[in-house]
Structure 1
Amino acid sequence: MTATTTDTERFYAELQENHYSPLWQLMGGLGPEAKTNLVPHIWRYEQARELMMQAGEVVPLEDALRRVLGFRNPGSRPDQRTGATDSLWAALQLVLPGEIAPPHRHTPSALRFIVEGEGAYTVVNGQRVPMEVGDFLLTPALHWHEHGHEGDGPMIWLDGLDSPLISRLNQYIIDEESDFQPVDKPMPAPYVQGMLAKTWGEPHALTQPLVYKLADALEALEYLRDLEGDPYDDIIVEYKNPTTGGPVMTTISAYLQLIRPGVDTKSHRHTHSTVYHVVSGSGYSIVDGQKIEWTKGDTLAIPLWYEHSHHNDTTEDAVLFSYTDRPAITALGLWRERGAA
């Protein structure tokens, strides 16, 4: 007995010393369904805004470069660098009047959904894009970008990035510049997006839009209002890259949805994670059996494979903006969805 124990211990010690990993010791906890240590969680805008305004008072922009308050999932392990979900970062960013956040670029793809304020802008690869409440803006991977505020009052927006995913791939790279970008005169959107074309010389390279207007998305929802709707999301539209017909970015898709008054959607789960931001109205979601109430400005993270449904028990519309990692999960051949029994 002693000899056998000693031989076993010696065997495993030799494996460790020579950098081997026996598979039979690594399979614990694995099973037929995807799972995560992260949990569903909601960040209340009332509290987050108060903390952001405190940051504006105590943290000079030159010390922070960008005042960004990240939403860290409470299920994160102490040593785990994560965001709202395993692969998606969510945060609020504040820019005060007269401030300019200097240019930088990074490998994570980023989006902005404007929550509050007016008079701010972003410059992306030399194109200046004004920011208005409800706008959905893109900063694709490795695009130079800076932000400025020429209006009055605070400017706050929701940041969404795939940075947790890029970090896990050890591909997170960032470049910074002290000089502001020269702003080239932007070409008309119908031209650069391929709706019109010049007839001489080489064709112009098409580019996707850097901003999607809330009014356009709301018009689409209104057009679809009287239809049956999606059983899990009610009336929902996806923001698209018109040059490819696909999602807005390689790893991130984005949506605007209307939960009509009195609607209770069906429950389902899927292998992609989702971050929801409440644009207007109020309601609640049932996530893993837990009722989570939400109202304008709140941000809700639902990590992968948690069963969830959405409900509007009011007499007013509820509009949700959301973004997901579905394009990345689909590209890996791992996307699955299951409705509740």
Structure 2
Amino acid sequence: MTAKAIVDPRDNVLGRARVTDTTELEIFYGELAKRNAGAFWKRANAIEPWEPETRYRPTLWRYAHMRDMCLRAIELVKPDEAGRRVVTLLNDSDAGRENTAVCGWLFSGMQAMRPGEITPAHKHTASAHRFIMEGKGAYTVVDGHPITLGVNDYVLTPNGCWHDHGVDAEGEVSIWQDGLDIPLMNCLETNFYAVYDAPAQAAAFPVNDLPQSYGGAGLRPEGIAAWDKAYSPVMVYRWDAVRDALRNLAEVSEGSPFDGHMMRYANPLTGGWALQTMGAHMQRLPGGFRGKAHRHTGNVIYNVAGGQGYSIIGGQRFDWQTHDIFCVPAWTWHEHVNLDPVDEAFLFSFNDFPVMEALGVRIEDVFKDNDGRQICAL
């Protein structure tokens, strides 16, 4: 008889698997295996942990480094041959590399385009959104709606929509961060992909018709066909308006002790998330802000929209500056600090919170020790 090792002392209680294996049981396990079956108690504690156990690691990508990689990709690969000339951001973990994931079931990459280039039109089951990091003259066309893009704008390309991207011939090299739920769609075995019957869509609507129709805060257009899509009709959220909204909020609110002043990119018709499977925020950290730590189910990928500071993630410090990208895996303690004593810092982020909420498993926890802040391993 061989006793089963109890890895976690908490498992040595009624209600957890504590079976002592015997010779007869080992024979039984072999017989089960021949029938494509198994004993649940052999794996129960591992697949039903006491709390979430992420397979991903906090990871940071320096913009200076990744920008150089994007510009090299421009020289080495033609966009029409690559389909999408994206430099993929892979989480520093086996799970990240195996699932082509930035964190959790989320994908992210950086895409650079020269003036006059296009990404051929296509569509897929995966939802996508983009955060513009630099350049001039970038645009996208989504189901025939042409949309212009500027630095720090947040743009949607919802699942199932035809879309192509480009940069005007008179524009500048443009770089943006892509975020998609490709790993989730592949996990669910629901991913479809199709290419358009032409390199690019012809505009079927006036330029910026959707953001100019639905982008007014607290306003809803009358006299046009009702919007019947599950995603936000705004399609692009302009940086100036988002920044001003955060500053207005800061005049009347102290904000969150964890996130400073934060705004959700919302569907103005429902108040919910702009997309069905991924959410996004912009947050403002006042000068000298020193946040407290919390953790939550769901994964978050950050892009520094402006400023400099650091975040402590799982007890490890990650220093950041404008357009560095970093991730916070699910159920990992994290807190943010603005190193400038006067000037504000801004963090864009996207997440899988809509999925957590739809499944009823979005849970948050507050760090209670050390005045709410982690002990950082420098």
Q: Determine whether 1:147 maps to 2:173.
A: no
What is the identity percentage for the equivalent residue pairs of Structure 1 and Structure 2? 35
Which secondary structure state, in structure 2, belongs to the residue aligned with residue 86 of structure 1?
coil
Matched, 1:27 2:44: yes
| Structure-1 separation of matches of 2:96 and 2:356 | 26
Task: Tell me the CA shift for residue 313 of structure 1.
Answer: 2.0
2:222 is matched with 197
In the alignment, does 2:239 pair up with 1:214?
yes
Distance 1:281 1:75, change over 3 A: same
Q: Relative contact order (alpha carbons < 8 A, sep ≥ 6): 1 or 2 greater?
A: 1
- 1:66-91 CA distance string (max 9 Å, x none): 11011111112487213111122111
Give, in angstroms, the shift of residue 36 of structure 1: 1.1
User: Does 2:202 align with 1:182?
Assistant: yes
User: 2: CA distance between counterparts of 1:38 and 1:145?
Assistant: 31
Structure 1 position 21, deviation (Å): 2.5
Q: Letter of the 2:220 partner, please give it.
A: M
- Are 1:76 and 1:82, in contact at CA under 8 Å, matched by a contact in 2? no
Picking from 25, 48, 57, the partner of 1:39 is 57
1:183-213 deviations in Å (ceiling 9; x for gaps) = 11234646467722129xxx53356111110
Aligned to 2:374: none
Per-residue deviation, 1:328: 0.4
Q: Structure 2 vs 1, CA of residues 246 and 260 (structure 1 numbering), >3 Å: closer, same or farther?
A: same
Q: Which residue of structure 2 lines up, in the alignment, with residue 57 of structure 1? A: 75
**Number of matched pairs:** 336
Q: CA deviation at 1:168?
A: 0.9
1:255 correspondence with 2:274? no
AA of the residue aligned to 1:160: G
* Counterpart for residue 317 of structure 1: 344
Answer whether contact 1:276 1:321 (CA < 8 A) is retained.
yes
1:305 lines up with 2:327 in the alignment: no
Aligned mates of 2:360, 2:43 — CA distance in 1: 23
Distance 1:107 1:188 in 2: 22
SS of structure 2 residue aligned to 1:51: helix
Structure 1 position 121 matched with structure 2 position 107 = no
For residues 152-163 of structure 1, what are the structure 2 equivalents within 5 Å?
A: 152-163=171-182
Tell me if structure 2 keeps the 8 A contact 1:191–1:197: no
Counterparts of residues 225-240 of structure 1 (less than 5 Å): 225-226=250-251, 227-240=253-266
Q: Is the 8 A contact 2:304 2:347 kept in 1?
A: yes
Answer whether contact 1:255 1:322 (CA < 8 A) is retained: yes
**TM-score, normalised via structure 1 length:** 0.93
Matched residue, 2:118 = 100
Note if 1:223 corresponds to 2:248.
yes
Counterparts of 1:91 and 1:269 in 2: how far apart (Å)?
A: 25
Are residue 130 (structure 1) and residue 148 (structure 2) matched?
yes
AA at the equivalent of 1:174: Y
Which string of whole-angstrom CA distances, capped at 9 and with x for unpartnered residues, describes residues 204-242 of structure 1? 335611111001100111101232111110011111101
Q: How many Å apart are 1:182 and its aligned residue?
A: 2.2
In structure 2, the CA distance between the partners of 1:32 and 1:296, relative to structure 1 (3 Å rule), is same
User: Which secondary structure does the structure 2 equivalent of 1:11 belong to?
Assistant: helix
Return the alpha-carbon distance in structure 2 between the equivalents of residues 86 and 205 of structure 1.
32
The whole-number CA distance in structure 1 between the counterparts of 2:266 and 2:92 is: 32
Alignment correspondent of 2:184: 165
Question: Do the aligned residues in 2 keep the contact of 1:92 with 1:157 (CA within 8 Å)?
Answer: yes
Cα distance change of structure 1 residues 301 and 251 upon mapping to structure 2, 3 Å threshold:
same
Q: CA deviation at 1:10?
A: 3.8
What stretches of structure 1 of length at least 5 have no aligned partner?
A: none
Residue of structure 2 equivalent to 1:266: 292
Residue deviations 1:249-284 (CA, integer Å, cap 9, x gap): 111111111111111111000011101100111000
Q: Which residue of 2 aligns with 1:334?
A: 361
Separation (CA, whole Å) in 2 of partners of 1:5 and 1:289: 42
Match of 1:242 among 248, 262, 268: 268
Structure 2 gaps of 5+ residues are: 2-20, 369-378
Q: More deviation in 186-195 or 312-321?
A: 186-195
**Distance apart, 1:12 and its partner CA:** 2.1
Deviation at 1:181, TM superposition (A): 1.5
- Alpha-carbon contact 2:133-2:175 (below 8 Å) kept: yes
Deviation of 1:109 after TM superposition, in Å, equals: 0.7
Q: Aligned residue for 1:73? A: 91
Q: Are 1:102 and 1:178, in contact at CA under 8 Å, matched by a contact in 2? A: no
